[in-house]
Chain A
Amino acid sequence: MTFCLLYAHSAQKELTQTPLLKIWVPGMGSSLGQRRGSSRPQFTNCPTMIVMVGLPARGKTYISKKLTRYLNWIGVPTQVFNLGQYRREVVETYKNYEFFRPDNEEALKIHRACASNALKDIANYFTKEQGQVAVFDATNTTRERRGVIISFAKERDYKVFFIESVCDDPEIIEANIMQVKLSSPDYENYDKEAALVDFLKRIDCYKMSYVPLDEEKDRHLSFIKIFNVGSRYLVNCVQDHIQSRIVYYLMNIHVTPRSIYLSRHGESELNLLGRIGGDSGLSSQGQKYAKALAEFIRVQAIKNLKVWTSHMKRTIQTAEALGVPYEQWKALNEIDAGVCEEMMYEEIQATHPEEFALRDQDKYRYRYPKGESYEDLVHRLEPVIMELERQENVLVICHQAVMRCLLAYFLDKSADDLPHLKCPLHTVLKLTPLAYGCKVESFYLNIQAVNTHRDRPTNVNIARKTEEALQTVPEHL
């Protein structure tokens, strides 16, 4: 009975559509609708601690950073807590591997203190900074250490998911060390040979006490064990949606060297007219670009290049000039501007001045009426990112807003920066994974094109004058 009475009002409550996100909510009072994520529920009920496990140089930090980048991109606030960094703050200068000897009491004390500080910061991140996932990046090679973390999490009702990286291939380990350890602040004053020797001794310090996660003994823990950079995985007790997504992501990434090329379609007829969206063909400059792109690709001599386009005429026309097979992805279509499709910014200001201002206020979350937001775009592009992770050399011919979203993923740009990233026409970006990040090379193919980048104007107030709103509109015919 109470159940019915409590909610008897709700049927009468009128729904209103929030102006920015275009989400329907009941007029007043608390909404029963959970709107954590704008276009899809995130399904995270309580904070999750991801705990890395593994000897040094097994890719823990690589995985931590990459996973964090991915989770933040899909809208799950995540942060890495790297124990090595805490240690570097306490111990100003690194001398040598002796610091890591298991009988070094002084060092052990410091380690424990650092771990404790890191855990404190994690608790703070969850309770005060609205964090949802914390990645605790440390060796965590003993059952004792993992026990401490599990107790800590249990006290506070955090979920725990372990990611263990196991690797005994000496080539991979040496490559790791070369890629990321030699340039660490620890080895500023070492030459390469000496650094390598010292680091290998460091690994030995951990080996003696290393107790890997065990199928039997740890059968109640939630974890994934990654063997030899992904040739095999052991997955135990996945508890919820986010852990399932994390496992799927980890099983799709690889470390094979490759490059991803991002480019927009050639200049289109509508681009020339300063109109957004639509499905027009290439202008004559755009066609020139397509030819130039073909030549560029030929000169790059890329092994086994895959080419992807959207379903829109302008990207397909661009790909056609390359003379190689390509795949069309509907998910790569440009952002749907809804009622503003094919309008010029001047027209949008004239017919929908309030919408135009709202967009400038929060360009990431703003959804066009009957259209999409950048936030929606990111969710739509997630399968594209997942497949890009699986693939090797790929050229993606897409659109301005789409390219901004993809770029933000690779370059770890925040939701605030994303919609303002510069992705000019007739420019190819070559992204090559390097160490913990991504090298970017920009190639402008020397074919003139209009500028389609509109900066955020100074006045974003709804009450602003027309000139103020149109201040930053790029030129067009």
Chain B
Amino acid sequence: MNATEDSTEQSGNSLTRELTQNPLKKIWVPSSTNGLPDRHISQRKVCMTNCPTLIVTVGLPARGKTYISKKLTRYLNWIDVPTKEFNVGQYRRECVKIYKSFEFFRPDNEEGLKIRKQCALAALNDVRQFLTDEGGQVAVFDATNTTRERRETILRFAEQNGFKVFFVESVCEDPDVIAENIVQVKLGSPDYTHCNTEEAVADFMKRIKCYENSYQPLDEELDRDLSFIKIIDVGRRYLVNRVQDHIQSRIVYYLMNIHITPRSIYLCRHGESDLNIKGRIGGDSGLSARGKEFAKSLGQFIQSQNIHDLKVWTSQMKRTIQTAEAVGVPYEQWKALNEIDAGVCEELTYEEIQQRYPLEFALRDQDKYRYRYPKGESYEDLVQRLEPVIMELERQENVLVICHQAVMRCLLAYFLDKTAEELPYLKCPLHTVLKLTPMAYGCKVESVCLNVDAVNTHRDRPSNIDVSRLPEEALLTVPDHH
């Protein structure tokens, strides 16, 4: 008996198609008779969207458009949605080598208008290339886009190319917020390297004025068929219209959870554990003597920092909880913060893994991000599991997260915008606290080593990652242990 009538020709053989488990990701896939991957292969990821999405920022200067663009891009890339931002201001700077003054932005400056339009079109062209030829899924078009006419141009462009459009408008009239924006990110702009602070601020305010008269905000009625979110007063209020699909829904949720209240996030691992000393991975052991010392030091460090309303989070593994207990403030346990599950390799040393599973060990070195331990997890799985933690970190203010090596690498990669290739090799040594403070468009990192000795648990990628390598080559970079 055949399957569905209207299915493809593969259906006829579908039950004779054997499933094989892809050795790297441990995903079951049908293998066709000629050895080539099948065409209608199952989607291994959750489908975010059927076609590329163009996110278009809208708003006067100094309303946080670039801040939002960069942050959103960082988040989407971290959850594995290839995203890139296209800042029209940057295109303009490449075109007009030296910025003279706000006069460039005057609405009656014909020359200025021509250049700005050209830059917008150049940016859109690069957007097209990214989304169509380079496998991009989301492009963030960061510009003022304050007139209906400009937005129409973009909508037509998107329609021609089969892209969905989602507008993100930032509306803010609070003079304090605007002034703070200007100080934080405009003064340091290449446009104002030759100005002093007062001159720069005065010029920038005039620049904003140039846009004000022609500004047509997105309108509930006139723009009711468009998909957009209007962010009012840095998140006090939101107007959300016509969310079309999953990715737009996730974007809205993210934008509604971020804030700009100054705060710091402290990341550290549990104190050195008994298994750490033995060079064994995973498990659920307690702290070693030095680990307990670190916990005490951590408590003292936290106290000395005098952090306002600090929240402390741990995993559900003994070693992070023991560490938190010493800090002496209430803490919340998250199962999602548990260390990566090494499956059959749990509690083994690297030497033992090499001995029993040399193929696995090599595959891991070949693609450490996507590699999944047999009956375990991959870094890619970890990121998915940590997404609610990141979302809540965005909502919170001062937080100390006491976690594990792989987990900390994932969280750090999110805050420091590291790629999937870099993530699994980020250095997160024991007994070191990283203090992350959002600043301008990024994150300031301060590393505090609490001066309690610990083993090194960082294994670099060895030069030979071939399956046929010798054990010595595989074990070249294993850190010392008992």
Contact B3 A281 (CB under 8 A): no
Contact B325 A247 (CB under 8 A): no
Residues on B with C-beta less than 8 A from A244 are: 253, 256-257, 395
Residues on B with C-beta less than 8 A from A231 are: 224, 241-242
Q: Mark A323-353, 1 if CB is under 8 A from B, else 0.
A: 1111111100000000000000000000000
Contact B253 A316 (CB under 8 A): no
Given B3, B292, B295, B321, which contacts A291 in the complex, CB threshold below 8 Å?
Answer: B3
Residues on A with C-beta less than 8 A from B202 are: none
Contact B43 A326 (CB under 8 A): yes
A148 interface contact, C-beta 8 A: no
Contact B3 A321 (CB under 8 A): yes
Given B5, B30, B317, B392, which contacts A24 in the complex, CB threshold below 8 Å?
Answer: B317
Given A13, A287, A325, A387, which contacts B15 in the complex, CB threshold below 8 Å?
Answer: A287
- Of the candidate stretches A139-147, A293-301, A444-452, the one touching chain B is A293-301
Contact A328 B44 (CB under 8 A): yes
Given A10, A39, A291, A312, which contacts B1 in the complex, CB threshold below 8 Å?
Answer: A291
Count of interface residues, chain A, beta-carbon cutoff 8 Å: 70
A170 interface contact, C-beta 8 A: no
Residues on A with C-beta less than 8 A from B156 are: none
Within 8 A of B (CB), among A241-256: 241, 244, 247-248, 251-252
Residues on B with C-beta less than 8 A from A323 are: 3-4, 7-8, 10-11, 14
Contact A324 B7 (CB under 8 A): yes
A215 interface contact, C-beta 8 A: yes
Within 8 A of A (CB), among B221-247: 224, 236-243, 246
Q: Mark A196-224, 1 if CB is under 8 A from B, else 0.
A: 00000000000000000001000100000
Q: Mark B1-33, 1 if CB is under 8 A from A, else 0.
A: 101110110110011010101000011101000
CA gap between A392 and B346 in the complex, in Å: 41
Residues on A with C-beta less than 8 A from B28 are: 311-313, 316-317
Q: Mark A1-38, 1 if CB is under 8 A from B, else 0.
A: 00110110011010101000011101000001111001
Contact B331 A295 (CB under 8 A): no
B208 interface contact, C-beta 8 A: no
Contact B3 A43 (CB under 8 A): no
Count of interface residues, chain B, beta-carbon cutoff 8 Å: 73
B482 interface contact, C-beta 8 A: no
Most buried by A among B19, B40, B318, B333: B333
B47 interface contact, C-beta 8 A: yes
A257 interface contact, C-beta 8 A: no
Residues on A with C-beta less than 8 A from B300 are: 4
B329 interface contact, C-beta 8 A: yes
Residues on B with C-beta less than 8 A from A463 are: none
Identify 18 new A-B residue pairs, CB closer than 8 A, beyond the known A328-B27, A328-B44. A7-B326, A11-B295, A11-B326, A15-B286, A15-B318, A24-B316, A41-B313, A41-B333, A219-B237, A235-B237, A236-B237, A248-B256, A251-B253, A294-B3, A316-B19, A324-B7, A327-B47, A328-B42
Lowest 4 CB-CB distances: which A-B pairs, in order?
A323-B11, A7-B328, A323-B7, A39-B335
Residues of A within 8 A of B (CB): 3-4, 6-7, 10-11, 13, 15, 17, 22-24, 26, 32-35, 38-41, 43, 215, 219, 231-238, 241, 244, 247-248, 251-252, 279, 281, 287, 290-291, 294-295, 297-298, 309, 311-313, 316-317, 319-330, 370, 376, 379, 387, 390
